[in-house]
Amino acid sequence: MSTHTTQRTGDAVIGLALAALGVWGTWVAKGTGLGTAAEPGAGMFPMAVCVLLTIGGLGCAWRAWRQTSGTEGKRWIDGTALFALVQIVMLAVLFVPLGMPLAGFMFVCGMTRTLGDVSWRRAATIGFVSVLAFWLLFDVLLSVQLPYGWWVSA
């Protein structure tokens, strides 16, 4: 199997994995209540994000499948991309049980550290500020109830 075919296959697999995650997230968000346009429910924003993730993943897979050149000499997936994909899946799985603050903080810290190549201190600062801004926007300003996790509810 040529390196080009391997790269193309890897890109298509990642795109399909993201699309599958988006479909699963859409199904989960639908069960949490969408609300209305005037008063969005807890599932409105996650559903919108998951629909976009599905479309983006399918687009990535389609582009990879149609690609015919330009990937010679590359591996099908590198460690950074695989770790980023694992973090996205973990965010989806842990968002409700751990809650938005903790799962979001872990996700932003991990992605910032992985993709931004910054120190843990800086990643933690970016994670804290991001989660605070996200919470202020959705919970306070838009009155969208976000999950806080079992550790806050108990």
Q: pLDDT value at position 128?
A: 95
Sign of the torsion formed by the C-alpha atoms of 141, 30, 150 and 106: negative
Instruction: Read off the pLDDT of residues 38-59 as tens digits, 9 standing for 90 and up.
Output: 777 777 778 888 898 899 889 8
Q: Is the pLDDT score of 139 beyond 60? A: yes
Non-local CB neighbours of 113 within 8 Å, separated by 6+ positions: 120, 123
**C-alpha–C-alpha distance, residues 27 and 97, integer Å:** 17
